[in-house]
């Protein structure tokens, strides 16, 4: 149905007060096959937020969603309802698995204004909520749940419906409120991966390190090598790596490490090996907190990958040294004992410390200018999920783009997706800022140029020059 962007909290909005951002009204998951008869409607509901509403309200909202899905299936059996627009709210639909539906409802931003006869009128800003952004958030929430808990159907098969309800509540009751709703934009739609380019010699050294580690420890199925939140090497499928990367860069690493020093944050219970007692600076972010005490229980998170084909259950072992993080995904059929961790630490630690210093030397040679860049851009490759951007970067300069321009970028991207063809869009905003979007061979490039005195020909030439300089051999449009 229709579209637009960002931001929510979990409180019900006042009906007449001004609201700058959208507000989350509800989020629920249901399966109609669990309550097929009259009087069993409550059995369909697997998770509902907020929980402090009446059961009748939950049943009514689920019933309305069911009716909307069935109605749209009449006209489009292969592509049922994905969003519903009303004057005051927007509802997003997602079917992650057969018979299971996830629904998110947000209120539209509202602004009060006084009329000529001194009456208060509430205006709702439909264009401030973009379907592509919230649909992406909804889909990613399922993928993140699946990463740690497996598919809905697999859980029901092993633990029954009660087990599924318990896992849904334990995950989504924390995940949904923790999302940074005020900062959702086009980068959340892409959910891309930032890659770190290295010279051939260094890359081969890292690949050799990964191969040697996997040969030495046969229980390791996959390995991912990151440096300063950028992927250098990954043995996972792209879609699985996308979700793991999102978890690492937005949850695990920020919660464990200081962003400036790369050292453990206070209260994490983790510490790097003492320099005078160890030949290397590495330590585990998941697993044992103290390798010297074999009596303490070891808690290693499990993840599920390749869920679209043959689902694999793995232990997620994360190791860190000097800005470098390595994820070892170990077969769940093998117990990860204290001896395994100790042997892995002894093998990996000394090598990783040296590799990390080598990689950092290359990064330091490419230190960006601390001055404000003349242009801001976003690049995304749909084929390998590579993402590059000067927006929201953690390194200086810390670039931001006005909310109105980010909405415009989302609209252009949605138009590209709807057309399904290569193309180019050039627009000038009311603030005299040029916005250019290019799509070519599943690659998209957006640039914002604050050159108010430039004309269309000059902007077109400037974008061509930028593409040649930064993205050579990527775009082929004339």
Does the pLDDT value for residue 3 go beyond 70?
A: no
Domains 200-365 and 376-470 share a fold: yes
- H-run or E-run covering 427: strand 423-428
Domain spanning 23-184 has what CATH number?
A: 3.30.450.70
Q: What is the C-alpha R_g of the chain?
A: 25
Closest CA to 239 of 189, 301, 307: 307
DSSP-derived 3-state class of residue 328: strand
Residue 231 has pLDDT above 70, yes or no: yes
Q: Which CATH class is domain 200-365?
A: alpha beta
Least confident of 148-152, 239-243, 440-444: 440-444
Q: In the chain, what are the domain boundaries?
A: 23-184, 200-365, 376-470
Indicate whether 94 pLDDT > 70.
yes
Q: Give the per-residue pLDDT at 405.
A: 87
* CATH 3.30.450 describes domain 376-470: yes
Cα(105)–Cα(103) distance, rounded to whole angstroms?
7
Q: What is the pLDDT of residues 144-174, one digit of tens each?
A: 999 999 999 999 999 999 999 999 999 999 9
Residue 387 has pLDDT above 90, yes or no: yes
Is residue 121's pLDDT more than 70?
A: yes
CA distance 285 to 266: 13
Reference 241, options 224, 220, 221; nearest CA is 224
Distances (CA, A) of 200 to 90, 204, 269: 49, 6, 38
The pair of three-digit structure tokens given for residue 65, joined into one six-digit string? 């969603």
Give the global pTM: 0.88
């Amino acid at each position: 149905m229709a579209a637009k962007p960002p931001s929510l909290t979990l409180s019900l909005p006042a009906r007449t007060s001004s609201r700058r951002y959208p507000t989350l009204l509800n989020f629920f998951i249901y399966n109609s096959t669990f309550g097929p008869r009259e009087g069993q409607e409550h059995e369909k509901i697997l998770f509902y937020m907020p929980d402090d509403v009446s059961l009748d309200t939950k049943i009514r909202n689920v019933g309305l969603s069911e009716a909307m899905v069935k109605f749209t299936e009449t006209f489009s059996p292969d592509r049922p309802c994905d969003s519903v627009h009303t004057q005051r709210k927007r509802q997003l639909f997602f079917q992650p698995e057969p018979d299971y539906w996830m629904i998110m409802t947000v209120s539209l931003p509202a602004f009060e204004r006084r009329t000529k006869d001194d009456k208060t009128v509430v205006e709702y800003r439909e264009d401030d909520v973009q379907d592509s952004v919230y649909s992406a958030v909804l889909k990613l929430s399922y993928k993140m749940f699946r990463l740690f808990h497996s598919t809905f159907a697999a859980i029901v098969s092993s633990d029954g419906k009660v087990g599924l309800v318990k896992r849904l509540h334990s995950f989504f009751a924390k995940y949904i409120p923790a999302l940074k709703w005020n900062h959702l934009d086009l980068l959340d739609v892409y959910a891309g991966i930032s890659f770190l380019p290295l010279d051939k010699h260094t890359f081969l050294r890292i690949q050799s390190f990964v191969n040697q580690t996997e040969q030495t420890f046969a229980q390791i199925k996959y390995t991912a090598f990151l440096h300063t939140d950028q992927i250098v090497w990954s043995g996972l499928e792209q879609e699985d790596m996308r979700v793991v990367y999102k978890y690492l860069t937005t949850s695990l690493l920020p919660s464990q490490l200081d962003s400036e020093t790369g050292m453990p944050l206070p209260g994490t219970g983790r510490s790097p090996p003492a320099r005078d007692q160890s030949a290397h600076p590495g330590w585990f972010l998941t697993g044992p907190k103290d390798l010297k005490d074999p009596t303490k229980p070891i808690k290693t998170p499990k993840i599920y990958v390749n869920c679209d084909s043959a689902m694999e259950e793995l232990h997620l072992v994360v190791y860190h040294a000097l800005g470098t993080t390595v994820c070892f995904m170990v077969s769940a059929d093998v117990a990860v004992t204290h001896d395994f961790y100790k042997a892995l630490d002894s093998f990996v630690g000394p090598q990783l410390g040296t590799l990390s210093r080598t990689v950092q030397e290359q990064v330091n040679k490419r230190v960006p200018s601390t001055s404000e860049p003349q242009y801001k851009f976003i690049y995304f490759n749909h084929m390998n999920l590579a993402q590059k951007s000067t927006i929201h970067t953690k390194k200086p300069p810390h670039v931001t783009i006005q909310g109105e321009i980010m909405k415009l970028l989302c609209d252009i991207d949605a138009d590209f997706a709807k057309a399904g063809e290569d193309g180019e869009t050039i627009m000038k905003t009311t603030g005299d800022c040029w916005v250019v979007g290019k799509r070519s061979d599943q690659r998209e490039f957006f640039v914002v140029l604050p050159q108010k005195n430039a004309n269309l020909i000059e902007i077109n030439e400037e974008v061509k020059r930028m593409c040649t300089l930064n993205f050579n051999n990527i775009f082929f449009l004339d």
